Structure 1
Amino acid sequence: MSPDERSAVRRSNPRDGVALLTLDRAASRNVLDDELRDGLIAALEATDADADVRAVVLTGGSEVFAAGADIRAMRDQGFQDAIAARGARLWGRLAAVRKPLIAAVAGPAVGGGCELALACDLVVAADTAEFSQPEVRLGIIPGGGGTQRLARTLGKHRAMDLVLTGRRVSAEEAQRLGFVNRVVAAERLQDAALELAETIARRPAIAVQLAKRAVLAADETSLGAGLAVERELFLLAMASDDRREGMAAFLERRPPRFTGR
């Protein structure tokens, strides 16, 4: 994507190796309509293809992360309309992102907005953040992975509590439940997320991407299959120039010079 002022998603590169993607529809509370979804898909594809980007921060700004689906557009949809809707493309693209993706959440992350945060690899939340899956109140259920990711992250009973009641969860409770990594003061949110991304970006890119794949395999496979995936990815890491440089630097007591090869 070549972002400009008209883009639904703004991209900047505020730190070395880090891309910042900002959902830029504050007037509509970053509702996940087709325009914003398409803009986010394009931004994710661009950052994934950019060799200079080694970690990505996704934020909705200081007031709201994302308000979820466009209920006005959904209200008159029927079964066939829902099948034909192209919104599901976003969730598939998020699952395919190779680079670490950090959600920086302030204000409400509601419905699809909560699912968007859950689909990221790490979540940094402002103390103003709130998370909810309120779909049951509208006669539907989460459709972007909310039931599955919450159950895998929190366990069945805690996921049932959030999905069946639709209640809101504060940033502090979300951290206790296990789907927020860090809670910071609202004015520190962007800096805290960028600092975390920058730390990851300093690590050897091949090892980081392989490690992400290995951890994700734990959610998607049995223990035996996950261990096999981990072993395969470990062997790939052993074949990299960065592995040789990292070990040499450790033994020589000097800073490593990683090249991404």
Structure 2
Amino acid sequence: MSIHDILKDPTSAALDGFRVEIDAERERGDVILARPPLNTVSMPQRDQLRAAFEALDADERVRIIVLRAEGEHFSSGGYIKGFLEAAPEVVSKLAWNIAAPARCAKPVIVANRGYCFGVGFEISLACDFRITSETCQYALPEQKLGQIPGSGGSARLQKIVGITRTKDIVMRSRRISAQQAYDWGISTELVADAELEAATDRLVEELRGFSPIAQRTAKKLLNDTEDATLSLAIELEGHCYSRLRQSDDFREGVEAFHEKRPPRFRGS
């Protein structure tokens, strides 16, 4: 299936190892890994996942994007033999494809349970919110194969937990428990396994209550200033704040506050 086909119909049954569901009433689009029991990610699947995220980001019915998986494990990682079979130009795009959730203007939530290894961990790190079941284990095990993470995992992880903990995880192929991931700031929320879906639903509904334009602005600003100096980050924040002052949503938010009623944001 071509990328153009996916963009036209992200819910197509021809997707490799995953499916897409859109709930227009709840303004939600789900990308669901569907190759149980371990939900391994094939090489062609990575390109399709990128296209699916791009399609959902462009879909006006969708406010919030959720990445989740069937079964007791989110993903044990990539299909190992695929790395030897793939051409160099394909391998060189791995990080770009897996970074698709970060490039989405809309908020992206991932629900992690069980094994979350390799590319499963890397694509989770590219999401904005990680809801983690108590059964979850995170790992970047590429050292055991004579390799290093190739889809942005070590770079994103270092931004979150620092170089010392990243070396401990990457260079020792060490598994991180759900509790340790939460304590280190890798996961946004830690919940009982039976509560994972409900916690994800709650976050979706919470995020839907905010202004779409304010959320898009906040996400882009935070992503763009991650490597910026403090003075530059404050300068860019001021410019974004100034632009939002002219938005319909800001006016609605102020009026709703003074009228003591829930705001009715439109995203403009």
Q: TM-score, normalised by structure 1?
A: 0.91
Q: What do residues 128-175 of structure 1 show as CA deviations (whole Å, max 9, x unaligned)?
A: 111001111211111111111111100111111111111111111110
How far apart are residue 190 of structure 1 and its match?
1.6
- Give the stretch that moved more between structures: 63-72 or 249-258: 63-72
Q: What do residues 43-72 of structure 1 show as CA deviations (whole Å, max 9, x unaligned)?
A: 211110112211111012232212222211
What is the alpha-carbon distance in structure 2 between the residues aligned to residue 140 and residue 39 of structure 1? 24
How far apart are residue 92 of structure 1 and its match?
4.3
Unaligned runs of 5+ in 2: 1-5
What is the alpha-carbon distance in structure 2 between the residues aligned to residue 186 and residue 61 of structure 1? 13
Q: What do residues 169-192 of structure 1 show as CA deviations (whole Å, max 9, x unaligned)?
A: 111111011111111122221221
What is the alpha-carbon distance in structure 2 between the residues aligned to residue 175 and residue 84 of structure 1? 34
Match in the other structure for 1:193: 200
What is the alpha-carbon distance in structure 1 between the residues aligned to residue 76 and residue 150 of structure 2? 14
**25, 46, 56: which is aligned to 2:35?**
25
What is the alpha-carbon distance in structure 2 between the residues aligned to residue 150 and residue 134 of structure 1? 14
- Give the stretch that moved more between structures: 5-14 or 127-136: 5-14
What is the alpha-carbon distance in structure 2 between the residues aligned to residue 171 and residue 255 of structure 1? 36
Contact 1:217 1:229 in 2 (8 A): no
Contact 1:61 1:106 in 2 (8 A): no
Match in the other structure for 1:122: 129
Match in the other structure for 2:26: 16
Residue type at the aligned position of 2:15: S
Residues 1:95 and 2:102 aligned together: yes
Contact 1:18 1:194 in 2 (8 A): no
Contact 1:117 1:123 in 2 (8 A): yes
Residues 1:82 and 2:83 aligned together: no
Residue type at the aligned position of 1:17: E
Asked which structure has the greater RCO (Cα within 8 Å, sep 6+), the reply is 1
Q: Calculate percent identity across the aligned residue pairs.
A: 33
Residue type at the aligned position of 1:233: C
Cα gap change, 1:157 to 1:98, in 2 (>3 Å): same
Cα gap change, 1:192 to 1:178, in 2 (>3 Å): same
Number of aligned residues = 257
**35, 38, 42: which is aligned to 2:51?**
42
Match in the other structure for 2:247: 240
How far apart are residue 93 of structure 1 and its match?
2.8
How far apart are residue 83 of structure 1 and its match?
4.2
Q: Which has the higher helix share?
A: 1
Q: Is the partner of 2:226 in helix, strand or coil?
A: helix
Contact 2:178 2:190 in 1 (8 A): yes
Q: Is the partner of 1:257 in helix, strand or coil?
A: coil
Q: CA RMSD in A?
A: 1.8
Match in the other structure for 2:139: 132
Contact 2:30 2:66 in 1 (8 A): yes
